[in-house]
Structure 1
Amino acid sequence: MTIVRAATGQTLVICGHGMVAQRLLEKLVEQPQNPFEQIVVFNGEATPAYNRIQLSAVLAGDASEDSLQLQQPDWYQKHNIEVHQGDPVVAINRAEKTISTESGLVQPYSRLVLATGSRSASLDLDGEHLEGVMGFRDLQDTRRLIDISQRQRRAVVIGGGFLGLEAAEGLRSRGMAVTVLHRSSHLLNRQLDRASGELLEESLTDRGLSVRTNTSPVALLGRNLVRAVQLDDETLISTDLVVIAAGITPNTELAREAGLDCDRAIRVNAQLQTSDPHIHALGECCQVENQTFGLVEPGYQQAEVLAQVLCDPDSQAVFETSIIATRLKISGIPIFSCGQTEADADTESVVWQDYETNRYCRLLVRNQRLTGAVLFGETSDGPWYSERIQQADDISSYRAQLAFGKHYCEAA
């Protein structure tokens, strides 16, 4: 049954309720002027916005589901924000400025924000449809993985990036025998150089993970349930579960069907506006020039800009892509990465390593400017190195002390 809601004043509709959409709501209610009489959020998930970064801690048994919630229910009531859980938007009518939801609700909008996020990328392998093959993106995935870990013994995780390693470590901590397959030469190849990637592999292997780099699966085998993974060297690995964590695909279907300009993701300008002036997009589903975003930090920056743009027609706020630092903990091991991670013909490397404590630091320098930093095992100086990279300071006066961190450099 279709229920058409009446338009009442200026209405902002938000499709999606992840971490970035929630940050947008929080920034909107902080604005000195808010033109919207109604803010309506349609969430495809049955759970209100939660901290996805902590899903790996829930999987590992180190955090509870309750600890994930970003705001209490009364926060939305207090700010007159209407949230519809488990009712995703399925169509946009740009001519009439309405959206339709799965339950048959038709909601008019003055401004529409697409925060539809992304999903695990498909590898187009034979057997991806089999039961026991899944991604690790949301709370529902996490619950399923916990359930399977209680009944099954073996898992293969495809992808040695952050998400894949988090899934692997969580399943290992629940007692499963886990093999990680990674097609690059070292783990976390986007964040780490080869030496630190190998240090990470050693540490994870010592904890009980099996890691195979320079390895790609060619097929997933089984009749109804997945039973094995076939590798490119003809090896077969028996398994009860396959987790695919080899990148993400932005959710653009809604925007494409509405005729919005899309490339790899939904194209937006520096004010997060799509090809339709009444529709904006932000987070993992959007693309600014040639760049898409898989981390939450740029999404938060976009939310701050978009809140100003939506509330002030004359706002000059723009989103600028910047060098984003990555600060992670994999199985309790701190890792920091910012800027360039591998040397080129124009850069010099400053490397410091302590074999006893398993600490490693690599700094990349070009024309007496810091262009990259990779830290493993001890990351407290990471934000200071990140600042030097962003500001492009001349480091000549403390170049000799650079590897020893902020306090030595400032003393010099």
Structure 2
Amino acid sequence: MTERLVVIGNGMASLRFLERLTEAAPGRFDVTCVGAEPVAAYNRVLLSSLLGGEVDEAACTFRGLDWYAEHGITLVTGAPATAIDTAERIVRVGEGLVLPYDKLVLAVGSVPIRLPKPGMDLPGVITFRDLADVAAIRRAAVTGAKAIVIGGGLLGLEAAVGLARLGVETTLLHVMDRLMERQLDHAAAALVREAMEARGVRVMLQADTAAVEGDGKVERLILANGTILPADLVVMSVGVRPSTALAASAGLAVGRGIRVDDTMATSVPGIYALGECAEHRGQTYGLVEPAYEQAEVLARHLCGVEAAYAGTSLATSLKVSGLPVFSAGAVDVPEGAEAVTWSDPASGLYRKLVIDGDRLIGAVFVGDVAEQGWCKTLIRTGDTLGPDDRDDLMFGRPVSPEIPAPQPLAA
């Protein structure tokens, strides 16, 4: 008999899993996919470009509804799963839909964090996480509006750049002493800050938000040092938390995320989890690459092919205001290791290699990221650096001159 497979969540991780599963074993499972959002899976990576008007919503779409139908997948949108009964093996969805399952996959993602400060529930305080958030931000970003983005991580930078593209007066607040402190050292972060400011984003570091105030809507933001910043819109981008409530209520083991083993199996037989909601070996991930690797492993496992997820060596590659940035492995230099750096601030170029003995354990590039793939491979595999590798990683591999083709002898 065909096994009934229910997938809760229709984000990027869920779609990659469904793609790999239907490629490997078409027709093996009777698949139903449930998504809380009213549309099918889309590219969240493009949300800042959508916010800034660089792309339209159609450009963010991965698969049309016809793809799900052609692959025998029943897609339910706009209906969040509300309960899982592990004894009866059913999922309750929306206002009365009941889905029986033989196998269940949780790909429920994460929820945005709101600072526990006064005024965070005022109209005009918006998170930056999905299409609905983008639409709400665009509605509030009217001519003459003043916007404040809280959070100097990747999503915060993207939100600020998107708002600046709309012509909105934008201030970015970050409580730490540098932007993207998990991915960048001080020198690299300074270049990113310059790029942000060149695009019209005011950056304030070590800026601790105390409260948001206003009469029925956002009017100002108060910093811990007493500074008052006028605001019509506050975008909250201070991180995400794995979505675990549904799993916890069903009795699954939960820590920071839904705990899974190397096959992405949870503590309850027949139930799996992947993506931002999953906790593997004590680690949760908020990036696309680990979610895709987990999706590959789970698809293979459910098709009876031996597969195991061993964790992901994190790397970040992006463009901040048009400035290419790459970071992988160690950013700060651990004891016993060394840093090799090259900097040309006037050109917006910076490279840092973190080397432990004869192995590359970290890299930060700004402005020119041509060697990023090589760096990721070296960090992931732990391969020994060759005698010329340091120079080649720092300055690029030398290009061999073209040898002219032999000319025919004159008659």
In the superposition, the TM-score normalised over structure 2's length comes to 0.94
Equivalent residue for 1:5?
none
Which of 176, 183, 194 matches 1:202? 194
Provide the C-alpha distance between the structure 1 equivalents of 2:77 and 2:377, rounded to a whole number of angstroms: 40
Contact 2:2 2:28 in 1 (8 A): no
Q: Tell me whether 55-64 or 380-389 shows the greater mean CA deviation.
A: 380-389
Provide the C-alpha distance between the structure 1 equivalents of 2:335 and 2:272, rounded to a whole number of angstroms: 41
Equivalent residue for 1:104?
96
Q: Deviation string for 1:359-396 (max 9, x for gaps)? A: 11011111121111100011111111111222222225
2:365 aligned with 1:401: no
**RMSD of aligned alpha carbons:** 1.7
Shift of 1:404: 3.3
Q: 1:319 aligns to what SS in structure 2? A: coil
Shift of 1:399: 5.3
Equivalent residue for 2:290?
298
Provide the C-alpha distance between the structure 1 equivalents of 2:44 and 2:31, rounded to a whole number of angstroms: 23
Equivalent residue for 1:388?
378
Provide the C-alpha distance between the structure 2 equivalents of 1:152 and 1:386, rounded to a whole number of angstroms: 44
Equivalent residue for 2:365?
375
Contact 2:143 2:168 in 1 (8 A): no
Contact 1:180 1:210 in 2 (8 A): yes
Which of 105, 108, 125 matches 1:113? 105
2:215 aligned with 1:223: yes
Contact 2:330 2:362 in 1 (8 A): yes
Contact 1:34 1:311 in 2 (8 A): no
The share of aligned pairs that are identical, in percent, is 38
Provide the C-alpha distance between the structure 2 equivalents of 1:13 and 1:106, rounded to a whole number of angstroms: 11
Which of 311, 326, 330 matches 2:320? 330
Equivalent residue for 1:171?
163
Contact 1:384 1:406 in 2 (8 A): no
Q: Partner letter of residue 275 of structure 1?
A: S
Q: Tell me whether 301-310 or 25-34 shows the greater mean CA deviation.
A: 25-34
Q: Partner letter of residue 5 of structure 2?
A: L
Q: Deviation string for 1:92-151 (max 9, x for gaps)? A: 111110011112101100011111111111211111110000110001101111111125
Q: Tell me whether 116-125 or 395-404 shows the greater mean CA deviation.
A: 395-404
Alpha carbons of structure 1 residues 33 and 205: separation in structure 2 relative to 1, 3 Å: closer
Alpha carbons of structure 1 residues 408 and 84: separation in structure 2 relative to 1, 3 Å: same
How many residues align? The count is 401
Provide the C-alpha distance between the structure 2 equivalents of 1:29 and 1:11, rounded to a whole number of angstroms: 14
Contact 1:153 1:175 in 2 (8 A): no
Which of 3, 7, 17 matches 2:10? 17
Equivalent residue for 1:43?
35
Shift of 1:316: 2.5
Alpha carbons of structure 1 residues 397 and 410: separation in structure 2 relative to 1, 3 Å: farther
Q: 1:326 aligns to what SS in structure 2? A: strand
Equivalent residue for 2:57?
65
List runs of 5+ in structure 1 lacking aligned partners: 1-7
Which of 23, 26, 50 matches 1:30? 23
In the superposition, the TM-score normalised over structure 1's length comes to 0.94
Provide the C-alpha distance between the structure 2 equivalents of 1:23 and 1:46, rounded to a whole number of angstroms: 19
Equivalent residue for 1:359?
349
